[in-house]
Structure 1
């Protein structure tokens, strides 16, 4: 899918097609590609081992006849897709032999949820050392794992387990760690501008969402998401401005991807916004100085999308999305 122009990413509906250049360019030399494969190989092998262990946990719980086997089977199918993505560029190999229910320490759905959350943290452990392409994959797989854990009842924090980047900030925190303005390369700055443009659109969209939600928990959820996106937008603006880069401005107005007339359609818009934001943050994960923050933003948007009822793909932010598009007004 072609990358959009800077003007296009200002479009609320066009977020569905967001594929920024830094995440999908193909002009690397063969030597650079080979070097990236060599660097990624031990990381991919380590992540495959973790994936095979998670698949064994699913098999153990499914063998115990859980109450909702269809949900578990669907999530297991996602994990199989995770394995395929992580095995890319490696010699073909089947999953490790499952130890079976009798050998697995995981017995219950709660155990499985905790295993999903821990494995999501393991994905982040190799984020800093990975090539841009693998970093995007790891962040997407981690976000999917966090969504799986939440769907199974474990909403605990996901933190890198191992020699990984420091814990990522919450949406209200300013970017920190290695992501200093002086460290931002030109491509990183461009990717950050695209993420900022997406946040501008999300803030506008949530303003519409909140107007149609009834008083109560739904409206409070909408307000919390609106505030989180405002804070994330402001953090990106500060980071760019401090580095001497003029932050992308919000468009004067945005055309919605579909008409919002009630609480149900407002919820669909919120799910749409969050799902499409994952694309911006998957691309931002390719920026070495911003990976921890981008992975956190990707995960948070994936979790919010699921909360609003979105049917997330196995690789949030990386899968094609046939959502409708529209232009800024």
Structure 2
């Protein structure tokens, strides 16, 4: 092979410089591909703006009603945790600075409750376009916002979630399959997550059978019956969806071991709260799917609301925070 000449060195040097200036390298092309983090960035920024506006509403209502400061302060702390979860991978920013730049609309607790409900709807509006990880966070934050709104007296529907306006808002209505996604198009991971949710519903149906046996006649027993029917309906809906997609729905276990002994109305209510809280984790995982995301978010919200009604101390991020061990199933 002949030795390279000075002219060939100059030519190679010029070509290398041209590639360097143009950035035309294989490594550059690979690194230029957008990541899920890049795609999520506009959604996260939009959600941060909505969170800062909600924080400004809290500050305005707390300032106008000092008597409610303690109660509202706990809810505001949850919203700060929402902000932290939504701000992941974004440059650090101060919520106080962002909030002070806007004019708070809420001046009463009722207006603050409505603001919580509207903001929960904004979370769900971005659900379809979010990455699986961000979708789980958005659904959890929306469920928390719905629980906040209910605690403040606003139990209105959450936009972009649940049954259509013309449908009855009963617990069983939103449990039925809806949407345009075909069961046959579900990925294996979606089927696996749905099977896990179905198994959790089997346990919940069993658990509510125990709960109902210890509740006295009255509003509590009616709440227990409504929850029992809702979980039966959702269990049946998931079974139909799996069967339509060619999968064998997971069967209920022969028996279930409860996390503690139920012996009166108080422990029955505690078990109901425990069951609903555990279900939020199953539905947070289901929110990471594509075909079932909206329905999973609806289920997550309903479980969070029922858990709160049964007296559960909901975490700021239902379904994402560490929870007690779920009731385990064992053959009897």
- 1:160 offset after TM fit, Å? 2.2
Counterpart for residue 27 of structure 1:
none
1:207-245 CA-partner distances (Å, limit 9, x unpaired):
000000000000000000000000000000000001111
1:134-157 CA-partner distances (Å, limit 9, x unpaired):
000000000000000000000001
Counterpart for residue 141 of structure 1:
141
- 1:100 offset after TM fit, Å? 8.6
- 1:31 offset after TM fit, Å? 7.4
Give unpaired runs (5+ residues) of structure 2.
Answer: 1-29
Comparing 59-68 and 127-136, the one that deviates more: 59-68
Structure possessing the higher radius of gyration over alpha carbons: 2
Q: TM-score, structure 2 length as denominator?
A: 0.85
1:42 aligns with 2:42: yes
Contact 2:147 2:308 in 1 (8 A): yes
Counterpart for residue 274 of structure 2:
272
Counterpart for residue 241 of structure 1:
243
Change (3 A) 1:31 1:83: farther
Q: TM-score, structure 1 length as denominator?
A: 0.85
Change (3 A) 1:299 1:85: same
Query: For 1:261, what is the secondary structure of its paired residue?
Result: coil
Equivalent pairs counted in the alignment come to: 297
1:95-150 CA-partner distances (Å, limit 9, x unpaired):
1433399x422100000000000000000000000000000000000000000000
Change (3 A) 1:122 1:283: same
Q: Which of structure 1's runs of 4+ aligned residues deviate more than 3 A? A: 30-34, 164-171, 322-327
Query: For 1:98, what is the secondary structure of its paired residue?
Result: helix
Counterpart for residue 85 of structure 1:
85
- 1:318 offset after TM fit, Å? 0.1
Counterpart for residue 183 of structure 1:
185
Q: What are the residue-to-residue correspondences of 1:145-164 with 2, within 5 Å?
A: 145-160=145-160
CA root-mean-square deviation: 2.4
Contact 2:117 2:154 in 1 (8 A): yes
Give unpaired runs (5+ residues) of structure 1.
Answer: 1-29
Counterpart for residue 204 of structure 1:
206
Change (3 A) 1:100 1:268: farther
Distance (whole Å) between structure 2 residues aligned to residue 79 and residue 159 of structure 1 = 19
